[in-house]
Structure 1
């Protein structure tokens, strides 16, 4: 019996569903190629074509895959957890090393979405120790819905008390048609990298901001039903239509990201609110010189306390996640100031909700508009970045962070029964939104005038805001 036959027999015995899905898979030798080192150890070279460019990488070290696997296992295994969920089967090197560290009551669940990678392992590696190990369970399928349900069930059953491990090279090998699944796995890996220092910064900011006794931003919820709301960010396309926002004043409620405050005020465009969520002290540059302008500030509970305390105008605090004041009014921040404002705008009742300056991609090599609190950033490393479809069908470079915000927006608006418009006039295409030029939005959707200043004053006064 060949090694492949033996592996398949063991697979059929213990994992019949996986066997049925993998038994007729043929590995594309142009994409997946086995390479051996001088000692006969194998690795898998993966060649992917992305937007006309071929790029190759190895799933394991082509020189010392066993040493690399040992180092990976030592770094990723956490003995305080009894349940470990690993994305990435690879050729199995790192699985064997992690299995050697498992206690008698520990379990390792291995998730793999690329059937050709798994088939390559079956064809080239003796996997008996993995396939027969009662402490190892495989979740292998090209069906990401099936995988997601299984993993979610594991998470729920273990009350989030588990160690989630991602094998970086295996993430890169997730098939292109499962781009969103790849993003979810990468995002999990990114979240794990948050440092204790960052968590401490959030906690310290929240403690200091609590002393301000600001009203909850929830006082705005449902107060602007069917009122047009414009969210202004500082993507590079903001320069194309920022001046048109003068015509939108008092015809739509304008909420500005803190980084867009200066570009707006320099043009004598006064937003109705602005928002700051970043925990870093550098956000003070967003309000420097404008500390007493009187525009209501919406800030996240963990935003930079130095900046928030130095702003002298009306302030509303938005609570989220574990940073919650115990009330029913909480927001889903989504990770960026624009996503936070979008969630708030939805809860305010806005309709339509219009994005301006939300490129979510690099346009002509830059990611911020001129004169914003962020300097325009030009990069020579675009070829190492992710790519995304632009509004005109073009391919644009984007960062992992921008991609996460794009997906968050698409998921957040998916079930909302209202109109969402992307009037950015550049950047990434956002599913679920109408893409309309701002001039046309103003003429077609902003036909009514409002006295937002008096309405906002009334809401703030009712809340007992000390600045009114």
Structure 2
């Protein structure tokens, strides 16, 4: 059997689609020439360029992998395959690490399969092979890797041949790392707030409907989505007239613009857990406006009179626990901004086209929000002789690393690291859903691929549809809900079961913490230590089997990441015992925190019902 047959056999077994998607569509590049070496491992020349060492290609790859310091990495992404030496070295020298191979040149990859046996690479469950794949797919793939650093290793000999592709790969990796860092910092700062909000909002489930009831309800209906950027000022004088021609979807931060324009939006999207975000709704009546929210939103929102309330699924384990028991609520995309959720809501309603107003993702003319927004009014109220509003705006603009980027007119608009992540989210979603006709009215907003600029005057050419929309909107929530509980009696048994699970989890964590204390004091002999470790393993099994582990573990993620990132072969037993004890203590404290909130919420719901 030839090397090619052996290697393609491994690939077909490991990747079932390989034969139809690759072998049947591409031929090996004949320009690859193998070169014998003294080490017995072949090198190769491709179009006049040497790909590996002429003496010892495997050892060369091992030195590169060692130089990259991959010991603590959870994942390494290799741009280019060559003859596979770099991928093999990363697998061999770093047991446990995930290896992603990004190779845009399929014919060259097929030619490499005739060079040597590669089964060690292709049979590994730690390998992901992406052949001429859209670099954007990296985002979902990286979301599944364990916590830890992500490393990029470049196969230099052919890097320049596909520089644009590899630059895109680097951009996606940087965006993922950036977003993960922001998420981790946000969790560290607001994790307890989110959990507290969710427990306080459980009573809201008694009046909410699942957002999935609305999917497809407005198929083919044009939607105008109102974000809160400075360019919203340009739309406000036209909003009252355009209401007859569009379904109006507003994010919470843009509600005051609607009020100032004399327009009640059809849907209001409110998904922010923080108190200050509720201030956008100060002194505002929501009237018959339907509100789309989720369980972690700040409870102050739900004290207002409003139209029908809809809940969407949440990314948080506590919310998922209730949803698994009570029924699916329906998912909306979450790209870190309420505007991303509003776009996905419009998409799932079936709206076409979806037009954005106020989606600037930057600071056109150095403005931060539309005139009359809560942000602007707050900066005015906080201003003084020594701190004018301009100083507060300057701080807002400069705090997240500002830089200029291309806008929809081809000029430059100031943006920042955080806002550019939202641009990446929109571009990724518009690639995933190419049939979603989306445009923007923000001329000086950050340019977003596949979201063209639309002339405001052209909107007046659309027919009036308000007479068709209003009867549908008035009927929202009138039909019986299938997936939302209507009485506390639905919720109470679920909450009581969770309390039992959380109590058991706290007990196991307390017991494990005491055992690690026994190990740390070193009062026991080696035989006793073995028994203690055995008991800890048994307790770990109970913790991992608990349905409440993810709920309590939500607040322990930072400690877990810290332990994993610091772990190495040189870690002493004493240090490991200390960190393990700290982990059990955090699990115990998290379980206790959840139990306290759970008991309070149970009392409230029982009283309401």
**Normalized against structure 2, the TM-score is what?**
0.52
Q: Where does residue 455 of structure 2 map in the other structure?
A: 437
Determine whether 1:229 maps to 2:229.
no
Q: Is the 8 A contact 1:300 1:317 kept in 2?
A: yes
Distance change >3 Å, CA 12–CA 131, structure 1 → 2: farther
Aligned positions of 1:328-347 closer than 5 A: 329-347=330-348
Determine whether 1:373 maps to 2:367.
no
Distance change >3 Å, CA 292–CA 360, structure 1 → 2: closer
| SS of 2:479 mapped into structure 1 | helix
> Runs of 5+ in structure 1 lacking a partner?
1-8, 26-88, 102-106, 116-121, 123-128
Determine whether 1:312 maps to 2:305.
yes
> Runs of 5+ in structure 2 lacking a partner?
1-36, 52-62, 106-129, 155-163, 380-392, 487-609
Equivalent-residue separation in structure 2 for 1:164 and 1:199 (angstroms): 20
Equivalent-residue separation in structure 1 for 2:286 and 2:182 (angstroms): 38
Equivalent-residue separation in structure 1 for 2:341 and 2:226 (angstroms): 12
Q: Where does residue 395 of structure 1 map in the other structure?
A: 412
Aligned positions of 1:208-287 closer than 5 A: 208-213=200-205, 214-287=208-281
Equivalent-residue separation in structure 2 for 1:150 and 1:228 (angstroms): 32
1:461 corresponds, among 472, 475, 478, to 478
| SS of 1:396 mapped into structure 2 | strand
Q: Flag the structure with larger Rg.
A: 2
- Measure how far apart 1:441 and its partner are: 2.3
Aligned positions of 1:48-447 closer than 5 A: 95=69, 99=71, 109-111=75-77, 133=93, 135=95, 160=144, 162-166=146-150, 178=169, 179-213=171-205, 214-291=208-285, 293-305=287-299, 307-314=300-307, 315-322=309-316, 323-324=319-320, 325=323, 326-327=327-328, 329-375=330-376, 377-379=393-395, 381=398, 384-414=401-431, 415-443=433-461, 445-447=462-464
Distance change >3 Å, CA 131–CA 199, structure 1 → 2: closer
Deviations 1:219-258 (A, max 9, x none): 2211111111110011111112221111111321101111
Q: Where does residue 590 of structure 2 map in the other structure?
A: none
Equivalent-residue separation in structure 1 for 2:40 and 2:98 (angstroms): 14
Equivalent-residue separation in structure 2 for 1:400 and 1:435 (angstroms): 23
Distance change >3 Å, CA 400–CA 22, structure 1 → 2: farther
Distance change >3 Å, CA 139–CA 215, structure 1 → 2: closer
Q: RMSD in angstroms over aligned alpha carbons?
A: 4.5
- Measure how far apart 1:317 and its partner are: 1.4
Q: Is the 8 A contact 1:253 1:452 kept in 2?
A: yes
| SS of 1:271 mapped into structure 2 | coil
| SS of 2:365 mapped into structure 1 | coil
Q: Which has the higher strand share?
A: 1
Distance change >3 Å, CA 21–CA 363, structure 1 → 2: farther
Deviations 1:195-242 (A, max 9, x none): 345233222222222211211222221111111111001111111222
Count of aligned positions: 370
Equivalent-residue separation in structure 2 for 1:21 and 1:182 (angstroms): 31
Equivalent-residue separation in structure 2 for 1:292 and 1:383 (angstroms): 33
Equivalent-residue separation in structure 1 for 2:311 and 2:91 (angstroms): 53
Moved more, 398-407 or 344-353: 398-407
Distance change >3 Å, CA 165–CA 446, structure 1 → 2: farther
Distance change >3 Å, CA 92–CA 462, structure 1 → 2: same
Equivalent-residue separation in structure 2 for 1:430 and 1:110 (angstroms): 29
| SS of 2:289 mapped into structure 1 | coil
Q: Is the 8 A contact 1:165 1:189 kept in 2?
A: no
Equivalent-residue separation in structure 1 for 2:38 and 2:394 (angstroms): 54
- Measure how far apart 1:192 and its partner are: 3.8
Equivalent-residue separation in structure 2 for 1:134 and 1:292 (angstroms): 57
Q: Is the 8 A contact 1:139 1:147 kept in 2?
A: no
Distance change >3 Å, CA 210–CA 449, structure 1 → 2: same
Equivalent-residue separation in structure 2 for 1:10 and 1:386 (angstroms): 52
- Measure how far apart 1:407 and its partner are: 1.8
| SS of 1:246 mapped into structure 2 | helix
Equivalent-residue separation in structure 1 for 2:441 and 2:258 (angstroms): 16
Q: Is the 8 A contact 1:320 1:333 kept in 2?
A: no
Q: Where does residue 6 of structure 1 map in the other structure?
A: none
- Measure how far apart 1:410 and its partner are: 2.0
Q: Is the 8 A contact 2:135 2:172 kept in 1?
A: no
Distance change >3 Å, CA 450–CA 166, structure 1 → 2: same
Distance change >3 Å, CA 223–CA 24, structure 1 → 2: same
